[in-house]
Structure 1
Amino acid sequence: MGIVLNQSFKNTIITYIGFAIGGINTIYLYPVFLGATYYGLTNYITSSANVIMPLFAIGMQNTLVKFYSQYETEAERNRFLSFTVLFPLLLIIPLLFIGFLFQDEILFFLSKKNAVVKNYIWLIPFIGLCMAYFEIFYAWLRVHMHSVFGNFIKEVGLRTASLFLLMGVYFHWITVEGFVYATAVVYLIALLVTMFYAFSIQKPNFQFTIPVNTKDILTYTFYIILSGSVANLLLDGDKMILNQYMNIENIAFYSVATYIALVISVPSRAMHQIVYPITAKLMHENKHDEMNILYKKTSINLQMVGGYVMLGIFVNINMLYKMVPPEYAGGIMVVFMIGLSKYFDLILGNNNAIIFNTKYYRTVLFLGVLLVILTVGLNMIFIPLYGIIGSAFATLLSITMYSLAKLVFVVKKLDLYPFTKQTMYSLILTFVLFVAFYVWDFPFNPIISIILKSILLTVAYVYLNYRFVISTEINEVMDKYLKKFKIIK
């Protein structure tokens, strides 16, 4: 776990820096500088691009990670890398052609509720294409154990660029309309930077040939497309559906709430960058016991770190919403619902990485497709009744059911189990601290109140987790520093 902790730590720090910058953008700059309409529009475009991204990438980012370690010679690896970069074009070109043929119908359908969407529809496939190839070259870096750079571009670079663009809007260097177009340019720059860095790590030798195990690759890729589509629809599909039923400003209100809740999943995102290829290697070598140990470690470590983040958000949520325009306040319940769904998914550890590296992944992926259908149906029922809260409730139900299905599948089919008695201790500890800290706030400025309460929460959470040895690995790291500063012997 040495390399896992090392790069996971770096990725976690980078991701939290990115989320801090994104938090400034989301909570203050977007609502104030851009306004609800164009904030909602920008989120709708990027969310829609993220939904279609798996189709453009054809799952090659996951396929690259799964199969790369199985090739033994440099020639085979070069052939495979070429295939992962060039093969998506076989689907991208026809999809773009179909979109061009039916552009009038597509424009009418997507802009019938919000006319402002019409002039920006073409940015969706453009950004989706940039996202797809960014992920492919990011995977190129990950298989060479260089996950930190790509993570920096994705988490910090994109959000920092948005920060500068928002400042440009404030100083009238660009218009709010220009901001939307400039956002698309930022995604293109992120792709190009990541691509050239990947080439510096592994010089490309593109060949118009196919790998020896093409049938296995294509079969796996087909299901990964389903997997990516399922995951992204569960993440961003609700914003697409909101556009069909409500004014686009509601997407801005919903986006602020979901962004706050998504901070809970940061530890998982950071650790998975490096755990995924290690999981693929262990599964390929059939090292069941080592895999079971890794599964439990990732689960409790993510539960401990993610639980702290979730508590920090939940107990400060009322003060946090005093910092945004009043019309955004209806999103507090959205934060709780989306946050709980993310927490439950987080404590499953590297569950997804395990499933996608076994022969059983097909069944769970088809189950995921059914749950997407359920998600869309629930959104169509609850959004007209309860607005953005209805959408959050539909997402909570869907993600929870999907996570439970994956957990049961791994336990029953692979005899791998993520939980220990420490899991229950952690849940109890987290609940007790939530009750103790949620019911009161400091009567000060919201920022000062959040800082003071967070300090108290941190002291209590860290002490109790350390005292009850919730995670032996994290305790070992803490012991190292406590001994270094001579706090303990």
Structure 2
Amino acid sequence: MGIVLKQSFKNTLFIYLGFAVGGLNTLVLYTRFLEDEYYGLVTYLLATSNILMPLIALGIHHTIVKFFSSYFTKVDKDKFLSSVLFLPLLIAIPMGFVGNLFYEQIGNYLSAENPIIKEYTFVIYLVAFTCAYFEVFHAWAKVHFETVFGNILKELYNRVAVMILLFAVYFNWITKEEFIYYLTAAYFVRMLLMMLYAFKLYMPKFTFARPDNFKEVLRFSIYIIMAGSAGAIILDIDKFMIPGKESLETAAYYSVAVFIGSFIEAPSRAMLNILQPLTSKTLNEENHTEVASLYKKSSINLLIISGFFFVLINANINELFRLLPVQYAGGALVVFMISLLKMYNGFLGNNGAIINNSKYYKITLPYSLIMAFSVYFLNKLFYYELDMGTDGLALATLIVIFCANTGKILFVKRKFSMTPFTDKSFLMIGLIALLYLLFNFWDFTFSDIYFLKFPIHPILNMFLKSVLITVTYLVLVVKLNISTEISNISKRFYK
């Protein structure tokens, strides 16, 4: 776990720095510098591009991670990279042509409830294209076990760009309309930076020759593209569906709650950046003992870290919403459900990497399709028919992904005879539940304190509760020796 922990630590720092900047953007700048309608528009455009991105990428970012370590000579590696690098263009070019040909019809369909969308429909395609090739070159870096720079671009760069552009709007250097165009340009710059870095790490000699297993590579890509597209629907279909019933402002309010609940997934994203190629390598070497070790260690460590942030966020959520404009309040239940889901995702460890990079990767397609259809119909039921509002959207996502993740645990148990559980897993779950119940239902009592009409008392309350939660949580985790890695780290400070 040495290389995993080292790069995961760096990645986590940059991801949380990105979340800090994103939090400032989401909770302060977007809500004050950009009209709610335009914030909702940005949310809708990016969510829709995320749904489209896997289709354009053709699954090549997953293909690179799975197959690159199976080639041992530079000639074979060059054949492989040369073959897959341009495959996304087979989708992107015809899609762009058709989109341009039927732009009017597509724009009218997407903007039926919110006419402002029509003018910016082309942004969806451009952002999806740049994100697709960014992921391809990010995977290129991952297989060389260099994940930090790509992670900075993925987690921090966009949020810093958004911050700069929001201040540009505030100072009237650009208009709200130009904000969207400049943000699109920022995605192109990010893609080019990632491409240059990938070529710096490994510059292949481009060739028209194909690797011997090209049919298998292509078959894997086709399966993954369909599974990835279905997976993207699961993650972003809710933000896509909101403008079909309500205003774009509602998408903005929901996006804020989802952002807060998603805060706890940073450790998982950080660790999986390096675990994915490492898991692929150990599976290609048929070293199942090491795979099982990575599975258990990643699960317990991610459960500890994500559980800590689960308690921290939900214990402070009501005070946090008091700092936001009143129309953003009322999303505490969405935050709870999304954060619970993200914590469960962390508990799975590298489960997804095991399935995707094994000979059983085809199972991801039916799983993803079932999940995509399920979340769509549950969204229709809860949001449109039962009129449960955005709480219904979050509940649909929670139910579908919880059931699917449980199925993945059982699948890996049946096929590989391994589980993510250790003897401390359920002790840790009990500890998280206990601390959540202990800290969630009380607050420090302060008189109302304001500085330049900004409330300070919620911040004081959150700060003191967070300190108390942090100390209690860390002491219990170390004393109970939940994780060998965390215990060893703590010994370095208390020798």
The one-letter code matched in structure 1 to 2:152 is F
Alignment-derived partner of residue 481 in structure 1: 493
| Structure 1 letter corresponding to 2:8 | S
- Worse overlay, 375-384 or 6-15: 375-384
Read off the aligned partner of 1:453 and give its amino acid letter: K
Structure 1: how far apart are the matches of 2:373 and 2:102? Answer: 24
Give the alignment partner of residue 432 of structure 1, picking from 422, 434, 443.
Answer: 434
> Whole-Å Cα distance in 1 between the matches of residues 332 and 174 of structure 2?
32
Q: Does 1:133 align with 2:145?
A: no
Answering whether residue 469 of structure 2 is matched by residue 457 of structure 1, we say: yes
Query: More displaced, 350-359 or 330-339?
Result: 330-339
Residue 69 of structure 1 corresponds to: 69
Distance across 2 between alignment mates of 1:286 and 1:205: 29
Q: 1:364·1:405 contact (CA, 8 Å) conserved in 2? A: no
1:486 corresponding residue in structure 2: none
Question: SS of the counterpart of 1:83?
Answer: helix
Residue identity matched to 2:413: V
Aligned to 1:56: 56
Q: Secondary structure at the match of 1:121?
A: helix
- Residue 460 of structure 2 is matched in structure 1 by 448
1:93-148 deviations in Å (ceiling 9; x for gaps) = 12222222322221121100111111000000000000000001111111111100
Measure, in 1, the Cα distance between the counterparts of 2:408 and 2:96: 34
User: Aligned partners of 1:35, 1:343: CA distance in 2, in Å?
Assistant: 32
Tell me, in whole angstroms, the C-alpha distance in 1 between the residues paired with 2:215 and 2:84: 14
Q: Deviations over 1:414-433 (max 9, x none)?
A: 21110122111101111111
Q: In structure 1, what is the Cα distance between the partners aligned to 2:489 and 2:327?
A: 44
Secondary structure (helix, strand or coil) at the match of 1:323 reads coil
Map Cα deviations across residues 3-60 of structure 1 (whole Å, 9 max, x no partner): 1110011001111110111011011111111121111100111111111111111011
Q: Which moved more, 1:380-389 or 1:50-59?
A: 380-389
Corresponding residue for residue 328 of structure 1: 328
Preserved CA contact (<8 Å) 2:143 2:277: yes
Q: For 1:412-427, list aligned pairs within 5 A.
A: 412-427=414-429
Instruction: Call closer, same or farther: CA 1:54–1:288 in 2, change over 3 Å.
Output: same
Matched residue, 2:370: 370
Aligned equivalents of 1:378 and 1:104: distance in 2? Answer: 31
Instruction: Please state if 1:184 is matched with 2:184.
Output: yes
Aligned-partner Cα distance in 2 for 1:185–1:290 = 43
2:468 matched to 1:466?
A: no
Q: 1:390: which partner in 2? A: 392
After superposing the two structures, state which structure 1 stretch, 230-239 or 28-37, moved more: 230-239
For the Cα contact (< 8 Å) 1:79–1:209, is it kept in 2?
Answer: yes
Q: Find the counterpart in structure 2 of residue 213 from structure 1.
A: 213
Alignment partners' CA distance in 2, 1:287 and 1:399: 29
Q: Does 1:26 align with 2:26?
A: yes
**Shift of residue 279, structure 1, vs aligned partner:** 0.3
Q: How far apart are the structure 2 equivalents of 1:464 and 1:223?
A: 44
Which of 398, 406, 418 does residue 408 from structure 2 map onto? 406
Question: In the alignment, is the contact (CA less than 8 A) between 1:84 and 1:136 conserved in 2?
Answer: no
C-alpha separation in 2, matches of 1:31 and 1:204: 46
Cross-structure match for 1:91: 91
2: CA distance between counterparts of 1:473 and 1:285? Answer: 25
Q: How many Å separate the matches in 2 of 1:453 and 1:442?
A: 8
Cα deviation, residue 231, structure 1: 2.4
When normalised by structure 2's length, the TM-score is 0.96
1:172 paired residue number: 172
- How many pairs were matched up? 483
Cα separation, 2, equivalents of 1:151 and 1:328: 30
Report the identity percentage.
43
Contact 1:364 1:406 in 2 (8 A): no
Q: Distance in 2 between matches of 1:364 and 1:232?
A: 13
C-alpha separation in 2, matches of 1:334 and 1:171: 33
Q: What is residue 145 of structure 1 aligned with on the other side?
A: 145
CA distance in 1, matches of 2:108, 2:330: 30
After superposition, the C-alpha distances for 1:396-445 in whole angstroms (9 at most, x for unaligned) are 11111111111111111221110122111101111111111111112341
Q: Which amino acid aligns with 2:367?
A: L
Q: 1:412 to 1:45 in 2, by over 3 A?
A: same
Deviation at 1:227, TM superposition (A): 2.5
Rounded Cα–Cα distance in structure 1 between residues aligned with 2:400 and 2:98? 31
Q: How many angstroms does 1:175 deviate by? A: 1.1
Partner deviation per Cα, 1:242-261 (whole Å, 9 max, x = no partner): 12121111100110000111
2:352 paired residue number:
352
- Matches of residues 225-244 of structure 1 in structure 2 within 5 Å? 225-244=225-244
Q: Secondary structure at the match of 1:362?
A: helix
1:316-368 superposed Cα distances (whole Å, 9 cap, x missing partner): 00011011111111221111111111111110100000000112121232122
Paired position in structure 1 for 2:454: none
Contact 2:69–2:284 under 8 Å retained in 1? no
Moved more, 87-96 or 11-20: 87-96
Q: Tell me what 2:318 maps to.
A: 318
**Secondary structure of the equivalent of 2:137?**
helix
Amino acid at match of 1:3: I
Could you tell me which residue of structure 1 aligns to residue 450 of structure 2?
A: none
**TM superposition score normalised by structure 1:** 0.97
Q: Answer whether contact 1:243 1:251 (CA < 8 A) is retained.
A: yes
Which residue is equivalent to 1:487?
none
Report the alpha carbon displacement of residue 456 of structure 1 after superposing the two structures with TM: 0.6
Gaps of 5+ in 2: 447-456
Contact preservation (8 Å) 2:18, 2:159:
yes
What letter corresponds to residue 403 of structure 2 in structure 1? M
The 3-state SS of whatever aligns with 2:35 is helix
Kindly report structure 1 stretches of 4+ aligned residues shifted beyond 6 Å.
none
Q: Which residue is equivalent to 1:270?
A: 270
